[in-house]
Chains A and B, each alone.
Chain A
Amino acid sequence: MGKTMAEKILSKKSNTSAKAGDLVVAQVDLAMGQDGTTPLAIRSFEEMGGKGVFDPDRIILVIDHNAPSPLEMVSRLHDSMRNFSQKYGVKLFDVGCGVCHELMVAQGLVVPGDLVIGADSHTCTYGALGAFSTGVGSTELAAVMIGGKLWFKVPETIKVNLVGQLPPGVFSKDVILHLAGKLGADGATYRSLEFYGPVIDNLEVEERLTISNMAVEVGAKTGLIPPDEKTIAWVKQRSKREFEPVYADSDAHYIDTITLDCSSLSPQIALPHRVDQVSSVEEINQEIPIQEAFLGTCTNGRAKDIEVAARILTGKKIDPRVRLIVAPASREIFMQAVKAGWVEAIVEAGGTFVTPGCGPCVGTHQGVPGDGWNVISTANRNFKGRMGNNQAFIYLGSPATVAASALEGKIADPRKYLEG
């Protein structure tokens, strides 16, 4: 019997022949922590008696969730990360560098075939490069920083075939929201996803990142996309590391296979307060006025995302009752957006930019909504209170949907702005 991508990567990293259900101890290629989880990991590291790190080049720390610091207490926690980085020679991306999951891939740190853990649930994003990557807690990050190893239960895998062709105005975000609606918030718990099909083949790498990013929203441990020529060229442009892509065997065992035809897919919206409560934009037959529109995050803060918003907003003005906030996923993307004129188009339309990083996604700063507000966001979560106010309502959609909604002051279908 052949092996899935998850079984193969975990076998390779544990020097065993691992099958779904086995427990293995595996060597981790990279370990990542951000400012919401690393200060606690540092405390656990010290409590565990950590005297050094297993390999300073394989540990990456990022200050992105609450950056720049809004409070003195947060500044102290950030300083604990800076001190740790200096003491052990660990790489730290400080305020303004961008979102951890964008930096991990765009800075050439992760390569196909890697096993990566991160103290952030959206670590599954690097599955788009064919790396087995998954979220862990702070104390497990501490244990990996000390010893470089972690135990894993080898997951069963669900194969997802995305067939057909995406219509104009419909994006990878719509695909993954639609899948979340089909599978439910626990539809892939303890499992790995493997994505195949012409829809995946036709997506650029940065669009595939959006799909793998949201694997955790259906409970999955990781969301793997087999590396193709595009992936390999993309990684080689960014990384000096040698790598060997890992593919599933043709006779691998899948616990389930799901096929979705995307040819007639419409823009999708996740309704408050559940990521799996998904509706197509036409099915929303009431007018939903919005007070805030947010474009950014590890899901959709990349160049193509800002470009499509700029294309929709050029020469127009957003509804004056809407606050449109844009957080580029990295400094490089921000610079690209400046040079290409996207920043000018969005700012002239009435939008505003905040520091590259997580922006208002986690409810700590930079755009906490008011009572009763509806927010349309490109993020991956719309839980009650997620953006810092449990009296607000968060809707999720693609960057094009967010831009169109900002223009109209209500949840809107972006397709009419993208024809021809």
Chain B
Amino acid sequence: MILRGKSHKFGDDINTDYIISGKYKFKTLDMNELAKHVMEDIDPNFYQKVKPGDFVVAGKNFGCGSSREQAPRALLACGIRGVLAESFARIFFRNAINCGLVALECDTSKIEEGEQLEVDLVQGVVKNLTREETIPTQPMPPVMLDILKEGGLVEYFKKHGSFPDL
């Protein structure tokens, strides 16, 4: 699985309220509607800037705060294919994989806004194509990789009827 897209750079501790505000997410399950408001409180033009396949690149503790699964789902709906961060808050990390949003831990200090990235999920390698640099990633627990490969937990359950064996 090779993914290519442009980076959208954020800092540390981006919480799920910033990803999708409570004032929107309580009203609807329409993720295309929520997508219009992703990151609105910290980057009002985010929705306009994103092209399908792009990546969010962030510092440490991405997705902290609320357990809302609308956060990874709304990111996906606005075109984001994956998040690369120094570290993730645990609920967001699980939710992302369960929704089929790629979430990889790696050194993001050498990725800037707008750079072209290529992610090889199976090899666990991020390439910064703009700088011609390769960045290794933290391996994901096999249970999560299995779920991600099926496209998320709903798809996995449809096919297998339960969680992957550990």
Output the least CB separation between A217 and chain B (Å). 8
Which chain B positions have C-beta within 8 A of A77?
A: 26-29
Cα–Cα distance between A24 and B40 once the two chains are bound (Å): 38
Output the least CB separation between B29 and chain A (Å). 6
B50 within 8 A of A: no
Contact residue range for chain A?
A: 35 or more
Which chain B positions have C-beta within 8 A of A108?
A: none
B29 in contact with A43 (CB, 8 Å): yes
Binary contact track A366-388/B, C-beta < 8 Å → 1, others 0: 00100000000000010111101
Closest 7 CB pairs of A and B: A186-B61, A137-B95, A137-B69, A385-B41, A362-B22, A135-B67, A48-B157
Cα–Cα distance between A48 and B158 once the two chains are bound (Å): 5
A364 in contact with B143 (CB, 8 Å): no
Q: Which of A47, A48, A383 has the most CB of B within 10 A?
A: A383
Which chain A positions have C-beta within 8 A of B166?
A: 23-25, 151
Cα–Cα distance between A381 and B65 once the two chains are bound (Å): 8
A49 in contact with B157 (CB, 8 Å): yes
A36 in contact with B22 (CB, 8 Å): yes
B42 in contact with A384 (CB, 8 Å): yes
Output the least CB separation between B165 and chain A (Å). 8
The chain B residue with its CB closest to the CB of A149 is B163
Add 11 more A-B contacts to A35-B26, A139-B153, A219-B64 (CB < 8 A). Answer: A40-B73, A48-B158, A142-B154, A151-B143, A186-B60, A186-B87, A189-B90, A381-B65, A383-B15, A383-B18, A388-B21
A210 within 8 A of B: no
A140 within 8 A of B: yes
Contact residue range for chain B?
A: 35 or more
B99 in contact with A65 (CB, 8 Å): no
B48 within 8 A of A: no
A66 within 8 A of B: yes
A143 in contact with B22 (CB, 8 Å): no
Q: List 16 A-B contacts (CB under 8 A).
A: A23-B143, A47-B158, A65-B22, A137-B67, A137-B94, A139-B99, A140-B94, A140-B95, A142-B154, A186-B60, A186-B64, A216-B65, A219-B89, A363-B21, A364-B22, A383-B18
A119 within 8 A of B: yes
B112 within 8 A of A: no
Which chain A positions have C-beta within 8 A of B130?
A: none
Measured CB to CB, the residues of B under 8 A from A are 12-13, 15, 17-18, 21-23, 25-29, 40-42, 60-61, 64-70, 73, 87, 89-91, 94-95, 98-99, 141, 143, 152-154, 157-158, 162-163, 166
A185 in contact with B70 (CB, 8 Å): no
Cα–Cα distance between A318 and B27 once the two chains are bound (Å): 34
The chain B residue with its CB closest to the CB of A153 is B141
A73 within 8 A of B: yes
A139 in contact with B67 (CB, 8 Å): no
The chain A residue with its CB closest to the CB of B15 is A383
Cα–Cα distance between A44 and B155 once the two chains are bound (Å): 10
Which chain A positions have C-beta within 8 A of B41?
A: 384-385, 390
B87 interface neighbour in A120, A138, A140, A189, Cβ under 8 Å: A189
Indicate whether A135 sits within 8 Å of B154 (C-beta atoms), given known contacts A186-B61, A383-B18: no
A73 in contact with B28 (CB, 8 Å): yes
Which chain B positions have C-beta within 8 A of A216?
A: 65
A121 within 8 A of B: yes
A23 in contact with B90 (CB, 8 Å): no
Q: Which of B40, B42, B98, B141 has the most CB of A within 10 A?
A: B98
